[in-house]
Amino acid sequence: MHAKKVLPIILMVFFTVLMIAGINLGEVPVVLEKAVKICLSCIGIG
Amino acid sequence: MDIRRWFQIIATMLSNAYWKFPLTHNLYQGPLKSVCLPSLNCYSCPAAIGACPLGAIQHFMASLRTGLQSGFYHFGLYVIGGLGVMGSMVGRLPCGWLCPFGFLQELIYKIPGPKFRISQRLTNVKFIFLALFIFILPFWVVDDLGYGMTWFCKFICPAGTLEAGIPMLLLVPDLRTLLGVLFYNKLLILIVFLGWMVISQRPFCRVACPLGAIYGLFNRSSLFRLTHDPDKCTGCQACFQDCPMGVRFYETANSTNCIRCLKCLRQSCQFDAISFEIGGISQGKNKPDKKKPAVA
């Protein structure tokens, strides 16, 4: 029962840290850069 | 109308809220596109206002080699972390409540006709798609410059064909000159899945969706969990008969296939054998809608 309560919290903290690390490494502008362009080959055209 | 259906409608509209695209003939290019949506929604869809997490991860994997050589340590932690936070909170719940492509599959299944169940063995294929097409191939198979491809988007994703490929061809007719085998292959995959959606419930989610595979891994360890009371369960299998994912709840309460639509909890079980807990703390007894009689 204790693990049931603690594990989700540990996972949430771990993945929040990952997300923050990604933001600090400058990944947000990379996502934006890819998402604002039409990637023709990505949608099967070209 | 069921509250979940409202969630699906609103989530679909919010995910695709850029309704000026028929005038601009282009994608939304604002800052919201830096945020990954929690569901499968192609970011090349002209109406999409957010990024697709699967597309974003593939892009990170595809450019990881050259990035490392250039001193850019972009592993996709921003996207993987975001999915992990969502998964560790609610598991696969976004599939059942927020995903536009899941919503579409539920609507298409309403078309009358013969219906068939999907073998549980096939549901493990999505983990192969996840490992191979999202991580391994984009990273491993690179061109002369060291860049990989977005394998799942390019060769498989029927959501991308439906939400982005076909709309873009309608919006920008010049693109039709670029059509080739790649597009027709993807169109065939889309047609196969659309046909399958008529006869089986959520075939893409169950067999091929890598995002569902990621969220599903969290189902057993998420903050929000469903619980099964074997003392109250009569084994009537009403939950199994109603489950859109073919989950035998009485055998595996938090199966990786469960999308937490809560149909079993709210409608199927007449014996209070299904309830939920948050962080290991039970949230009271189930009060089913009693919309139909118990199946003995």
A3 or A14, greater pLDDT? A14
- Average pLDDT for A21-37: 94
- A5 in contact with B at a CB cutoff of 8 Å? yes
When pLDDT is cut at 50, 70 and 90, the band that residue A43 belongs to is: confident
- Report the C-alpha gap between B148 and B158 in whole angstroms: 21
CB pairs under 8 A between A and B: 163
- Average pLDDT for B123-132: 96
User: In Å, what is the CA distance from A19 to each residue of B74, B84, B130?
Assistant: 12, 9, 20
CB contact under 8 A, A44 and B34: no
Closest Cβ opposite residue B34 in set A4, A28, A37: A28
Tell me which H or E stretch contains B281: strand B281-282
Query: Tens digits of per-residue pLDDT, B67-114?
Result: 999 888 999 999 999 999 999 999 999 999 999 999 999 999 999 999
CB contact under 8 A, A35 and B164: no
Q: Distance between alpha carbon B203 and the CA centroid of its chain, in Å?
A: 11
Cβ proximity of B153 and B134 under 8 Å: no
CB contact under 8 A, B77 and A22: yes
User: In Å, what is the CA distance from B110 to each residue of B115, B122, B192?
Assistant: 10, 22, 17
- Residue B284 has a pLDDT of 62
Closest Cβ opposite residue A38 in set B27, B52, B56: B27
Q: Which residues does chain B have within 8 Å of residue A24's beta carbon, measured at their own beta carbons?
A: none
Q: Distance between alpha carbon B95 and the CA centroid of its chain, in Å?
A: 5
CB contact under 8 A, A19 and B85: yes
When pLDDT is cut at 50, 70 and 90, the band that residue B1 belongs to is: confident
| Closest-CA residue of chain B to A39 | B44
- Residue A1 has a pLDDT of 61
Largest CA distance in chain B: 65
> Nearest CA of chain A to the CA of B291: how many Å?
33
Percent of chain B with pLDDT over 90: 84
Q: Which residues does chain A have within 8 Å of residue B33's beta carbon, measured at their own beta carbons?
A: 31-32, 35-36
When pLDDT is cut at 50, 70 and 90, the band that residue B294 belongs to is: very low
| Closest-CA residue of chain A to B161 | A43
When pLDDT is cut at 50, 70 and 90, the band that residue B295 belongs to is: very low
Cβ proximity of B32 and B50 under 8 Å: yes
Helix/strand/coil for B282: strand
- Residue B285 has a pLDDT of 55
Q: Say how many CA atoms lie within 13 Å of B228 toward its Cβ.
A: 17
Closest Cβ opposite residue A43 in set B29, B84, B160: B160
Q: Evaluate if pTM is beyond 0.90.
A: yes
pLDDT at residue B247 greater than cutoff 70? yes
Closest Cβ opposite residue A42 in set B44, B180, B279: B44
Query: Tens digits of per-residue pLDDT, B277-293?
Result: 998 888 765 544 444 44
